[in-house]
Amino acid sequence: MKALVDENLPQRLIPWLRAKGWDAIHVRDIGLGGQSDRRVWDWAHAHSAIIVTQDRDFDARPNDALGARALRLAIGNAPPAVLIAWMEARWDLIVAWADEKAPLMVLP
């Protein structure tokens, strides 16, 4: 899976996702830091990437004509180690969703 990590999440998430076998990149690493959600969505669509975010604005995007996908982490602000542990506990759910090719997952 290819993942585009949004700017509201720490860059420390990148090596963890890569260790899980995902091809992950942070928006800041490709010049999209501070850019509109539309620009982030367009990049994800063009590169068949899943947007990993905490931004609720992406919840409406799967109904958009473009076919990008979003994984919204509904955890609130958390230190990177807490966020990674939280995701680790839910990793099987994330993988199952990603394999289904569903457009949106709000991970509780």
The pLDDT of residue 28: 97
Q: Which of 33, 73, 70, 79 is nearest to 54 (CA)?
A: 73
pTM score of the predicted model: 0.92
Structural domains of the chain, count: 1
The pLDDT of residue 59: 80
Q: Average pLDDT of 97-106?
A: 89
Domain that holds residue 54: 2-107
Which residues share a beta bridge with 51?
A: 4, 70
**Please, are residues 68 and 49 in contact by the beta-carbon 8 Å criterion?**
yes
The pLDDT of residue 62: 58
Q: Which of 89, 100, 90, 70 is nearest to 8 (CA)?
A: 70
The pLDDT of residue 24: 98
Residue 104: exposure state from Cβ atoms within 10 A (0-12, 13-18, ≥19): middle
Token pair, residue 20, equals 């899980």
Where helices occur in the chain by DSSP H, the ranges are: 13-19, 37-46, 80-89, 91-100
pLDDT digit string, tens, across residues 16-47: 999 999 999 999 999 999 999 999 999 999 99
Task: Phi first, then psi: give them for residue 95, nearest 5 degrees.
Answer: -65, -45
The pLDDT of residue 103: 87
**Please, are residues 51 and 71 in contact by the beta-carbon 8 Å criterion?**
yes
pLDDT exceeds 70 at position 64:
no
The pLDDT of residue 66: 56
